[in-house]
A and B are shown apart, each in its own frame.
Chain A
Amino acid sequence: MDLIIEGIAKAIALIVTLDPEVLNITWLSLKVSGCATLISLFLGISFGTMLALADFPGKRLLVSIVNTGMGLPPVVVGLFVTIFLWRNGPLGFLEILYTPGAMILAQAIIATPIVTGITVASIQNLPANLKLQILALGASRGQMVWMLIKEARLPLLAGVMAGFGGVISEVGASIMVGGNIKGYSRVLTTATVMEAGRGNFDVAIALSLILLLLCFAINYLLTRIQQRERPR
């Protein structure tokens, strides 16, 4: 119990004194996971919408694969991204292993199936006649797709939260492709693992609390947008 209180005290101290290292780590977490979420939104929403609207043989199989991908284990992604990005690996010429760029890549791979899956579900959940109505009013196919995405934006926000929540709390891939390098690729989760390993449980608890606060702040913001816009 003492340890938890010490940890909370440490967290408050680190936040109040604006500890530069903790600030850096927090900012990098936000940047990396934010970028990864943005990329996954682009990919996931476009791919998910296509998947939801198109009819083709093997569609069910593909949707099942995407839904399985929603639970893609981060360590598996981390392992394969590492092997691909090795200097002497297939993508070694990029020279991005052990950089924040590699972490963004790995996290985007983790988040994209999550956003895709939720997009498929949200678009398919729209009234079936909506598509016909929009087309009947003279919209082009592109306009129709855009309107459907706009119509599904509230459930899509849930996708944003799930994707972001998935990657900012992820540690397996980040530590493998980022290397937990001090002041460069160290994020909240990898720092927590390291500090716990070093026996600095108070700092580890402090970092965890900061991570939780960050997640809460982002989700609170998104939820407010979602609830405000809820159709009455």
Chain B
Amino acid sequence: MNRFKKMWCAVVVVLTFIVGAASLAAAAPKALILATTTSTQDSGLLDVLIPAFEKQSGYFVKTIAVGSGQAMAMGKKGEADVLLVHSPDDEKKFMVEGFGVNRRLVMHNDFVIVGPPNDPAKLRGTKTSAEAVKKIAHSGSLFLSRGDNSGTHAKEKKLWKAAGINAEGQKWYQQTGLGMGETLNVAAEKKGYALTDRGTYLALIKRLRLEILVEGDPSLLNVYHVIEVNPVKWSKVNVAGAKAFADFMVSQKVQKIIGTFGVDKFGAPLFFPDAGKKPETLGL
């Protein structure tokens, strides 16, 4: 039985060591959990901003890129410290329910409706999003929805609702349940329409046979806010880190970086800095 006991001792020692080492490693730098949308990660913006923030503040940022819906769900459970999200109606609800503090405007870009070049629903030239989604529904053209409670999905549901169309369950309406980039790939392969933020579309444009068909409607505005998670409900929230990150996002220096990000690669900025502006000036 001797060897067996020795082996078990070894197992226990190894496990203790690993768990101990892991928790030490986690505790060493002050960690901050940022829950955000896939668009900020997929566009590459966070790859520029996060290292700068880490260097300046000394925090170690754990970026968890999920949809806005899931990001807010994490905030509600105290599993994230700060949120960078783009789902204004849900955000307002989140704030009213007391889960967040200090919601601040960071930047915007816009949503566009993209589709296959042959444009079976004849969207090209359509001015408003409501008219566009009606055309898709009436022609029964394939539409790919995120279906993941992300900010883009929330916006899309709002468009259907505004047009008075019940898309869910229709044969031409398919939900991917995937991120923006993946959903655009599916749309391109299946020659369907999709709603996307301009940033992700531009980042993927070289591989996609999809064209922008509808843009510029005020209802297609895509606004990003930073929200600090309310520490009153969850004591483990990193309050100081969350505030530091939010302050960083609206600082002049970072706003300037946001305004020029993507210009070298796409010839136009992917995001427009808005810190300090009143929401009304954006038409919200």
Contact = CB atoms under 8 A, between A and B. Distances in A.
Contact of A87 (B18, B47, B79): B79
Secondary structure of the B contact surface, majority rule: helix
Interface in A49-99: 86-88, 92, 94-99
Contacts of B178: 197
Given A142-B4, A181-B63, A198-B181, A39 B15 contact: yes
| B: interface residue count bin | 35 or more
B33 A100 contact: no
Nearest to A146: B3
A155 interface: no
Interface in B196-245: 203-204, 206-208, 234, 236
Interface in B1-26: 1-5, 7-8, 10-11, 14-15, 18-19, 21-23, 25-26
A42 B23 contact: no
B78 interface: yes
Contact of B78 (A39, A87, A145, A146): A87
Contacts of B10: 42
Given A180-B65, A198-B42, A88 B27 contact: no
| A: interface residue count bin | 35 or more
Nearest to A91: B19
B149 to A, nearest CB: 17
A35 to B, nearest CB: 7
Contacts of A145: 3-4
Contacts of A196: 181-182, 185
A46 to B, nearest CB: 5
A12 B258 CA distance: 34
B151 interface: no
B77 interface: yes
A232 to B, nearest CB: 28
Interface in B26-55: 26-27, 31, 33, 38, 41-42, 47, 50
Given A87-B78, A101-B19, A146-B3, A92 B236 contact: yes
Nearest to B11: A42
Contacts of A180: 65
B100 interface: no
Contacts of B79: 86-88, 97
Contact of B19 (A42, A43, A96, A181): A96
A131 to B, nearest CB: 15
B206 A182 contact: no
Given A39-B14, A39-B18, A96 B2 contact: no
23 contacts: A39-B15, A43-B11, A46-B4, A87-B236, A94-B26, A95-B26, A98-B64, A99-B26, A101-B22, A101-B23, A101-B26, A140-B2, A179-B63, A181-B62, A184-B60, A197-B42, A197-B180, A197-B182, A197-B185, A198-B204, A199-B203, A199-B206, A199-B207
Interface of A: 35, 38-39, 42-43, 46, 86-88, 92, 94-102, 104, 140-143, 145-146, 179-182, 184, 194, 196-199, 201
Given A38-B14, A104-B18, A197-B180, 11 more contacts: A43-B11, A86-B79, A92-B236, A95-B26, A96-B22, A100-B25, A140-B1, A180-B65, A197-B178, A198-B42, A201-B207
